[in-house]
Structure 1
Amino acid sequence: MNNKVKKLRELNVELLRIVLMIMIVCHHFIMRGRGLHLLYTSGSTNINDDALQGLFMDSFLIMTVNCFIFISGYYGIKFRIKTILSLLIQTITYSIGIDILFDLFTTQHTSFDTILDGVLSIANGQWWFITTYFFLYLLCPFLNLAKKNLSKFQFLFILGVFTTINFIIGYTLDPNPLGVLNGYSLFSFICIYFYGQAFSAHLDFKKGKLFYLSLYVICSLLIFGLFFIGLKYVSVGFAWKAFYYNNPLVLISAISFFFFFKKLKISYTGISFFSSSVLAVYLIHEHPKSADFITSNLNKFATDYKVGSVYLTYLIIAVCLFLCCTFIEKIRLAVTGPFLNYLMAKFKLDRLDEKLK
């Protein structure tokens, strides 16, 4: 592959990562700001037109996590000890830092338990996505061996088994021993990672941008349609299954969205400045105290200062939040980067990378 094509591909993916993170922020805004998370957790059937409008918008956003993991599988995670340490330092910094910041403006005091929870933020699942992705990352040197060493038939056979467990039995029956957890699980991430590898090495659908965009829109509409029909004719529990991450429609929507962006030609190299901070945006706005603050204040703010519709206001706030978090992350990197480099040089940790290739 020549350098020009590689550069275009990378910029396409970097833009996609930015868009996905803004969509994730909007998803959280809709669920919390409109109180939809309470409808889900309570199992309430009192879902009015405002809630349905929010869920209609969310049906276009729910595929974002799957799309992130599909990207990782498609291009393959390159195992680096430095990346692992960087993620640990990043999560600890934001976990403890945000706790301290909120405590400064409240009557609460930062305790030893708060510090310990911050140090163990990945292990204790403070951010479910980070915990799951971290262990996916640790497994990637061995997951990547499947694409390298298995025949096409062997690889697709394993993918078929994974699909049956995660997207068929796990979605329809969800037996506890399988541990699928509606797609919020390491197994589900591994399955989607394998889908990315399958499309990278064994599956090739040569379609245009319009096809993939149309498929994404159709799947999103079907997700909402499944919810609406389930709510009206089956049960509220069945209806919410439409928004599970292991809903096959959510997976197809994610894959279509990825290939739509893959077909784009992007030349603005400044994208990389922002795309490198997408994880920080997630960590900052999904910290438990940040999330509680958003839940308590977002909807009132978006209603009082509405620009057009409340959903357009959410989008504007999400973009502004992304920009602010990007600059916060650049400052954090300037502070913690030298410490990371010191650890790598002092203990010669990069030697482990070679052993796991």
Structure 2
Amino acid sequence: MKTRNSAFELLRIIAMFMIVLYHSVFWGPLNQITSLSTNRIFAQLFLVGGKLGVNLFVMISGYFLVTSKAKIEKVIPMWKQVFTYSAGFLVIFFMINRGNVNIKSLLRGFFPMVFNEYWFVTTYLMLYILAPYLNRLIKSLPSRFLLRLIVILTVVISILPSIFQNQMAVSNLGWFILLYIIAAYLRLYGVPSKLIARHFNVWFLAISAALLYGSIIIMDLASLKFTVFKGKELHFAGQESILLLCFSISIFIWVMNITPFSNKFINRVSALTFGVYLIHDNEFIRPLLWQHLVPEKLLFRSSMYPISIIGITVLIYIITSFIEWIRQQVHFRKRG
């Protein structure tokens, strides 16, 4: 049995934490409060973290799947896990308050992958099904042609949409495929030799982060004087952003360069991350969490907002991890 590299498992944990933090802002007061403030800038930075977390999650999959066999049987445990939470929460909330359950909710609850209950799961499932064919294509191309393909896809799927936001037909699946191919290239061929200069990745990481987060602050300041920039603060920080893509790649390369190590605790917590996502972003849990249990609109006006919302995110992560741990204990006990 191969030893798991805990550096990537830790990256998976951090990525999921950023996704939960992103949802705390996305479903919170950011869209209702438009005046520029320090808290609004922090909220915008947290939003970027969610997209970054998704990128890293997909890249980790591409990095490992390209050298392994993607089997359709492996989809079954994932389907069971998704169905357990989607159908389980549906039944619970139907028993509590039938008025919140309608036909659409029933369809999404019992057929979560088909009716896009979780957009990430639906897209990831499609990517997983395509993985064997993507792997054949990736391995059949010489490294230089594969690198050219990455450049072409990056221009079409990332650079052009970064300029003409919402004007390009870029799907979540297309974006996932680009991330998959990039990670697969890094696994098979490493960082291109021209880029392996001393301290290159440190500078790459620092510059890409500065450009990404700097673009948000610059657009915020520009919106104060020019109304055309209102609502465009995250123009260069969207999912297809070339700046976000560069930042994602720089972090991924940095983790690749960490000396491999194994830590049982990190590996165990990492195995709970998917459950954390399924619980906290369920359509019934989401409003309960962000509209009732977490008074974020009050927190947003506090000078302690950044620290408070990070602390709440940690608490949510721990509780949902514990729930997923219980589910796994029950599941594996039944199998045993």
The answer to whether the superposition gives a TM-score over 0.5 is yes
Partner of residue 157, structure 1: 148
Mapped partners of 2:203, 2:36: distance in 1: 28
SS at match of 1:187: helix
Cα deviation, 1:96-132, whole Å, max 9, x if unaligned, reads 2122333444453756654432122112222111111
Cα deviation, 1:212-270, whole Å, max 9, x if unaligned, reads 45543443332232123334155235432222111111011111222333333444222
- The AA in structure 2 aligned to 1:332 is R
Mapped partners of 1:17, 1:67: distance in 2: 7
SS at match of 2:235: helix
Mapped partners of 1:62, 1:92: distance in 2: 25
Partner of residue 173, structure 2: 186
1:62 and 1:114, CA in 2 relative to 1: closer, same or farther beyond 3 A? closer
Determine if contact 1:122/1:131 at 8 Å carries over to the other structure: yes
Query: Is 1:15 the equivalent of 2:10?
Result: yes
Shift, 1:23, TM fit: 1.5
Determine if contact 2:211/2:243 at 8 Å carries over to the other structure: yes
RMSD of equivalent CA atoms: 3.2
Determine if contact 1:96/1:114 at 8 Å carries over to the other structure: no
Determine if contact 2:7/2:255 at 8 Å carries over to the other structure: yes
Answer with 263-272 or 66-75: which moved more. 263-272
SS at match of 1:71: helix
For residue 96 of structure 1, the aligned residue among 45, 66, 87 is 87
Determine if contact 1:180/1:188 at 8 Å carries over to the other structure: yes
Partner of residue 229, structure 1: 218
Determine if contact 1:63/1:254 at 8 Å carries over to the other structure: yes
Mapped partners of 1:217, 1:103: distance in 2: 49
Q: How does 1:325-340 map to 2 (within 5 A)?
A: 325-336=320-331
Determine if contact 1:59/1:220 at 8 Å carries over to the other structure: no
TM-score by length of 2: 0.83
Q: How does 1:88-237 map to 2 (within 5 A)?
A: 88-106=79-97, 108=99, 114-174=105-165, 179-181=169-171, 185-204=172-191, 205-206=195-196, 212=201, 215-231=204-220, 232=222, 234-237=228-231
Aligned length in residues: 324
- The AA in structure 2 aligned to 1:127 is Y
Answer with 248-257 or 94-103: which moved more. 94-103
Structure 1 residues not aligned, in runs of 5+:
40-44, 343-357
Mapped partners of 1:158, 1:301: distance in 2: 44
Mapped partners of 1:227, 1:16: distance in 2: 24
Shift, 1:139, TM fit: 0.4
Determine if contact 2:52/2:244 at 8 Å carries over to the other structure: yes
Mapped partners of 1:145, 1:98: distance in 2: 39
Structure 2 residues not aligned, in runs of 5+:
none
TM-score by length of 1: 0.78
Partner of residue 245, structure 1: 239
- Aligned-pair identity (%): 25
- The AA in structure 2 aligned to 1:150 is L
Mapped partners of 1:102, 1:207: distance in 2: 56
1:274 and 1:215, CA in 2 relative to 1: closer, same or farther beyond 3 A? same
Mapped partners of 2:79, 2:206: distance in 1: 37
1:194 and 1:188, CA in 2 relative to 1: closer, same or farther beyond 3 A? same
For residue 320 of structure 1, the aligned residue among 315, 323, 329 is 315
Mapped partners of 2:45, 2:318: distance in 1: 27
